[in-house]
Structure formats: C-alpha cells, structure tokens
Amino acid sequence: ESSVVNAASHFCANEPILLVANQLYDPALLSMMRGLALDSSTGAVSLIDDSTDSVEWASVDHCAEFCKNGHIHTIVKVLTDFGAAPGGRIARVAKKMSHYDAISCGAHVISSELIDIMREQLQHSPIATIVDALQQLASVGRLGYLSSGGRPWFGELVLSSLGTLEPDPASSIKPVWRTTAQQMLASLQCCPAVEAPRSQPHGNRAAPAGAVPAASGGGGGAAGAAA
C-alpha cells in the first residue's frame, strides 16, 4: 500500500488514477476503466468479474486446491449492493468471505480520497492493504464497480502456469484459460511508457498515462488468478 501512496504523489491531487495489478487484461477492459468518471459520491470504482462461472470456480475449484479448512483465501471477493444507485455499489470487499457474488479483477480507478485513507491506515499498521482501504470506502457506500462483462483477464495463477509444458493435472486452472492467455500475450504490442503530466489535470476522468501497478491485495480470479 505504501508504494501506491508514494506513486500517487506524482499525479495531480484532483485527478483519478488507474490502479492495476500485475495481471493480464483484455485491452477493452482497461480502456473502459480509463474512461470512467468519478462523481462526488464515488471515491473509487473497482473492476469486478460477476460471471456465474468465475464465482463458482472461486468457491469450489480454486478453494479445493488452495483453501485449508475454509480459512485460507487468496482471491479478493466482492458482495455487490444491487439496490444502490447510480451504477451500483460494492457493499463489501475482502479475501475471507463466505457469501459473495463477484471477485475483484485487481483494477481500480481511485481518487485522492482513497489515497488519504491508505495513508491514514499505514500510520496505524504497516501491513494495511488496498483491500482494507477499499472496504472502508464500501462501508460508507462510496465504492462503485464496473463488470468485466465476460471479457477475459488473467492473474498470477494462470500466468505462472504458462511456463510449464504440462500443468499439474490437479490444478484448478482450466486449459482454455491457458490457451487464451497465450494468445493474448502473443498479440501484445509494447509501447514506451509516458509520464503523466503534473500540471494538467484530466478533470474527473482516470489519467490515461502512467497507470500505477497495484500492490498486494489487488485480487483476481475470473480467469483463474490468485492475488
């Protein structure tokens, strides 16, 4: 969390920041996140995967491989508040949840409000996480969400498996995820990094350049990723 707070100092105070985990995303997902506007009622917006397949995978297949007595969870889980308006709100976000209807994709558009929360939490605990800060926003109805809408994204669990010719037969990773991730990686085009301008705020839209990588707690699962 401290790395995010430090990186945020390189952006204008009133410009949202696109915070992403070290994961692989369909470019359309990041484009949608970059285009999000944060109004005065929203401190951050999280990208979530609310597909039935992904939620079932997290609670059954992934847990069977990694959970111990139901107490060890690595995926960041989300409970949405369908009655909230506008655009929906996240009621709760945490790693240890027994009831949830989505999982975090590890990408967030955040405001200075979340940065201030993280800074305050770090003063009380050096192990405070981004998830803790997001939950604080959720508890007061200020954490929105954007659904991935079935577009692919892959986290560490899938990406780390790509270096093996034959994955563990007992792995919860689905073969189609490995295939799709390999295809996405093969189609990537590298471009030089662009520093976000400090003197020209982007209004209430996420800064299009200089996205900040998320620290631990970014979450992930839909495409078979552990945080």
Does residue 86 have a cis peptide bond before it, meaning omega lies within 30 degrees of 0? yes
Its sign, for the CA torsion 214, 131, 196, 123, is: negative
Distance CA 88, CA 141 (A): 10
Distance of CA 126 to the CA centre of its chain: 21
Task: Specify which of 73-82, 83-92, 104-113, 211-220 reaches the highest per-range mean pLDDT.
Answer: 104-113
User: SS3 letters for the chain?
Assistant: CHHHHHHHCCCCCCCCEEEECCCEECHHHHHHHHCCECCCCCCEEEEEECCHHHHHHHHHHHHHHHCCCCCCCCCCEEEEECCCCCCCEEEEEECCCCCCCEEEEEEEEECHHHHHHHHHHHHHCCCCCHHHHHHHHHCCCCEEEEECCCCCEECHHHHHHCCCCCCCCCCCCCHHHHHHHHHHHHCCCCCCCCCCCCCCCCCCECCCCCCEECCCCCCCCCCCCCC
The pTM (predicted TM-score) of the whole model is 0.78
Question: What's the pLDDT score for residue 206?
Answer: 57
Question: What's the pLDDT score for residue 214?
Answer: 44
Question: What's the pLDDT score for residue 147?
Answer: 94
Other beta carbons less than 10 A from residue 135's beta carbon: 17
Task: Specify which of 156-160, 167-171, 206-210 reaches the highest per-range mean pLDDT.
Answer: 156-160
| Each residue's pLDDT tens digit, 57-68 | 988 888 887 776
Q: Is the pLDDT of residue 12 over 70?
A: no
| Each residue's pLDDT tens digit, 67-99 | 765 555 678 999 998 655 556 899 999 988 889
| Each residue's pLDDT tens digit, 124-134 | 877 778 899 99
Question: What's the pLDDT score for residue 60?
Answer: 87
Percent of the chain with pLDDT over 90: 36
Lowest mean pLDDT among 21-25, 149-153, 194-198: 194-198
Average pLDDT over residues 183-208: 57
